[in-house]
Chain A
């Protein structure tokens, strides 16, 4: 490759590695319990929200227990069914994302089975309130972690280009060997 085209390629690389929002090549979904409800968002890898994506929650047997769609901010709310749920988001042009969500250990409304004394009942309520408050603090962090884990990195771009160059080299080597083989 000439020096000019190499320079151009490096310039393109830098532009490409620059983080910015973009169209959907993939979509991502994140969800967490807030109290008894599941709140989540569907977004593009760059961070932009995705409105109008259909979201379905299915249980471990594969039955769909709830359906909804994201609003203008890409957010959605579902009523939690307890247990481990698989949330899937889909768009009309064939993109799909999944998120597995486990119900928190103690959800409000799930108290002792037998009639509790007054003190125990308020303990349950307290626990539920604490869970809700902690969830509210943790969920943005969880969401950020999830996005960080899926971030595009410069080394991924360079790795891909390296693989392409390597494949081309292998191909050239293979064809060249075949040529010399035939001549002998």
Chain B
């Protein structure tokens, strides 16, 4: 998720960077004027989230939040995550700058996928239980997809796939318990305070 420089091979770097650029361009086109502030706030939340550690049993986990970003921003998650990951790379040294495209792709594509799957479910009804469940699913699915994409990209760079995938997955398993409910709670909170966020495109 924060791949360092020198890990990925040249072709993989080029391919993932191209795909990330395409995603960012699409996200910028689809972002309305009114959505810019909330894109910025969510980018800031993602930027800070990796610093917030939640004690869970013997270890600690940190929030990822890309499921929430995809749910609220759709394709707009691409530019938001690009900016946040870039700042994390230059200010904290998380991830290499050459791998920025790959890291953006690994975080943003699951976000967009979760957004695609979860938003229609939200449109069908606003019952609190449904909102919480959709948020939970979005947060959890995003984590699973993050691990799969990370392992896939490392595999394309001549690493072993299943071993890496199981290691990453096991490391993030406790996080599923926190990220899912937290995304669900965030969705509930937004429905109570600013429900129009959950129906993008309604103002068009």
Contact = CB atoms under 8 A, between A and B. Distances in A.
Given A16-B51, A22-B60, A95-B4, A156 B40 contact: no
A84 B66 CA distance: 42
Interface residues of B, number: 44
Interface stretch (A58-66, A110-118, A132-140, A159-167): A159-167
Interface in A14-58: 15-17, 20-23, 25-26, 45
Interface in B75-109: 83-84, 87-88, 91-96
A152 interface: yes
A158 to B, nearest CB: 10
Given A25-B2, A94-B7, A96-B7, A179 B33 contact: yes
Contacts of B39: 168
Contact of A26 (B33, B45, B95, B154): B95
Contact of B47 (A1, A20, A161, A168): A161
Interface in B1-31: 1-8
Contacts of A176: 33
B143 to A, nearest CB: 13
A103 B43 CA distance: 45
Given A21-B60, A93-B168, A164-B44, A157 B51 contact: yes
A161 B40 CA distance: 9
Nearest 10 A-B pairs (CB), nearest first? A168-B40, A16-B51, A96-B4, A25-B94, A160-B87, A94-B3, A156-B91, A25-B2, A94-B7, A175-B33
Interface of A: 1, 5, 9, 12-13, 15-17, 20-23, 25-26, 45, 88, 90, 92-97, 150, 152, 156-157, 159-161, 163-165, 167-168, 171-172, 175-176, 179
